[in-house]
Amino acid sequence: MNIIHLLVIEKVDTLGDRLRKVLSSEEFHITTVHSINEAETVLQELPPDKPAGILLLHLEDEPWEEFVRALRKRFFLTPLQLIVATESLEGIPLEAGVDDILHLPISDEELAVRVRAAGLRYRRQVQLVEEREFLRKAVKHEEELTAKIMDQNRKLKRAFEDIERVNEELVRANRELERIARHDALSGLLNRITLFNAVDAEIERSLRTGSPLSGIMIDIDHFKNINDNYGHQCGDDVIRMIGSWLLGNLRKYDLAGRYGGEEFFVVLPNTRLNHAVKIAERFRKTVQSYTIQCDSHSIQITASMGVAEYRMGETRDMWINRCDRAMYVAKHRGRNQVVADTFPLGHDRHLGR
C-alpha cells in the first residue's frame, strides 16, 4: 500500500500534531506548512500529471479560495483531496472544489476517521486514473493493431470478417479473465483480495452516508473430517454448495466472498445487527437441511456463524475480527449456531473451534 502524502496548511501546529499521533506513518506522510506561500513552494515540486495527495487547510483569516481554485485547475485530471477545517461553516465555497469540511472543534477519533475516509476516496481516484490510463493504452494498442490488419487485408472481405470474429473472442476472453481474477474458482464467490476491496468500499459508503453495515463470518463445521474421511472432492462439493446458495439467495446489493479454506464472509449493507442475525439463522437452517452425496455416503452439513455490525472508527480487520471472534464462540458452544458480537472488549478472542 503506497503512503499518502498529507499536507497540512495552518498557522499554528495543532491539527498536524494531532494527526501525527492518530494516523499511522505507514499509511500517511504528514507535512505541515504555515502559509499558502509555503504550501505553493511544496506543491511546485509535484508534477501536475501525478497524484497530489491530501491537502488540509486550517486558515480561518487567510484568503484561500483562489488558492484552492488554482489547485483544482492545475491538477484537473490528477487525484487530489481538499479538506477545509473551520470553526464557522458560513461562506465555504463548495464550488471551489472542497471535498470535505471539518467543523471545529473536532475529536481525535472523528479527525482520524474523516482523514482516513479522504484517503479511501483518494486511493479510489488513483485507481480510476490508473485504470483509465491502462484502457487508453489498450485502446491505442488495439487501434494500431486493427489499422495494420485492415491495411494488409482491405481487399479480402473474408479476412476482415475473420478479424472481427477474433476481436470479439478477445473481448470475451478478457471478460472471462477479469471474472477469473476477481472470483474464487471453486465457490464462484469473490476471492479474498476482491472481497477486501469490496469491504473497504462498503465501509467508506457507511461512513459517508451513516447507513448501518453488518457482516457474517461462516465456517463449515468439521470440514477437516469431511476431507479426511470422504476425500477432497467431497470437500470441494461442500464449498461449491455453499457458494451456490449464497450467490442465489443473498440480496442483489449484498456481497459474499471466500475468506479462506472453509470460511466465508458476507457483507450486508444497510443492515442492522438484529436483521443480520436473522439472515444468518436462515442460512444456517438451510445448510443444515442439505445433504451431500459422496460415493455411497450421505453427509449432512452444518455451519457456525458469527455476526457483527460495523462500528464507526473500526478498520476493516477490526470489524472482520469481531465477526470471526463471534464465530469462534459459536464453535466453542457446540457448533451449528449463530452468535452475534455483543461481547465486552475483554472477551476471550482465542476460543477453540
Active-site residues, by number, are: 262
Q: Dihedral sign, CA of 73, 75, 78, 82?
A: negative
- 327's CB contacts (< 8 A; 6+ apart) are 217, 218, 219, 304, 305, 306, 339
- The DSSP call for residue 110 is H
Strands (E) across 79-143 are located at: 80-86, 100-103
Contact present, 281 and 290 (Cβ < 8 Å): no
Q: Is there a cis peptide before residue 269, judged by omega within 30 degrees of 0?
A: no
Gyration radius from the chain CA atoms: 26
CA–CA separation, 167 vs 150, rounded Å?
13
Residues 6+ apart with CB under 8 A from 319: 199, 203, 215, 308, 310, 311
Other Cβ atoms within 10 Å of 79 Cβ, number = 21
Joined together, the cell numbers standing for residue 319 give: 470489524
